[in-house]
Amino acid sequence: MADKTEKRVAVVTGASRGIGAAIAEALAAQGRHVVLVARNADKLNEVKAAIEAAGGEASVMTCDMSDGEAVVKLIEDVADQHGRLDILVNNAGITRDNLLLRMSEAEFDDVIAVNLRSVFLACKTALRPMMRGKWGRVINISSVSGLVGNAGQSNYAASKSALLGFTKSLGKEMAAKNITANVVAPGFIETDMTDVLPDVVKDGAKAATPVKRFGKPEEIAGAVAYFASENASYTTGQVIAVDGGMTMC
């Protein structure tokens, strides 16, 4: 059921497929106007069509999240075009997996640029329209790799771990402004990225997960939808690991 408030505007990066698309659909179902962001306009328009077919509202904006100037312009354009920006979901991310001894500086820098620097720039730019509106929700998508590390992913794990401290700091800075900042850390989820994993890796991941299966994008979207809701006004600086119990201690 949609929240009974005037329509808020949400930006979801990496919204062309998988987790990002599911998040966008969940926020639209809450009654938000969702701005879908990724590089592939055709894929974004498919998600937009699905949202509209379900009775929701969405628009499409393309952006290369590795381009800092483009990220800033994206957020400014959303606020200018809609007169507000209420919810920011930083979901876009890339991997450049390699063992540390073989990892190039470019492989490290590329991941940091998309997974961390773009979040810094998007959040910094989005805070002004959120403060003008006296309401805001920032949800950053991390990973269990950021919680426990993963061999061959030191760059990815570093970027996703950094989001935890970044988001907690942001939550403390913005709490008095009625702006919350929280993290969702997915485990192994059924997406295009996990579909291509060898069966032996999939089987090992399922064996290491107490619920013995991969999660679904909609299960990540549910956690994001809570953080983005009116009911989450007293929740900030928190991390929810949606990972089938993989990191429970």
Catalytic positions are: 156
Provide the b/e sequence for 14-34 (b: ≥16 CB within 10 Å). Answer: bbbbbbbbbbbbbbbbbbbbb
**Distance linking the first and last C-alpha atoms of the chain:** 34
Residue 172 tokens read as 């403390």
Residue 75 tokens read as 């957020």
In terms of Cα–Cα distance, which of 121, 89, 69 is closest to 13?
89
Rounded to whole angstroms, what are the CA distances from 216 to 12, 20, 138, 199? 18, 12, 22, 18
The DSSP code for 8 is P
Residues 187, 209 contacting (CB under 8 angstroms): yes
* Lateral strand order in the sheet of 239-242: 57-62, 33-38, 9-13, 87-90, 136-141, 179-186, 239-242
Give Dmax over CA atoms of the chain in angstroms: 54
User: With the CA atoms of 101, 105, 111 and 117 taken in that order, what torsion angle do they form, in degrees rounded to the nearest 10?
Assistant: 130
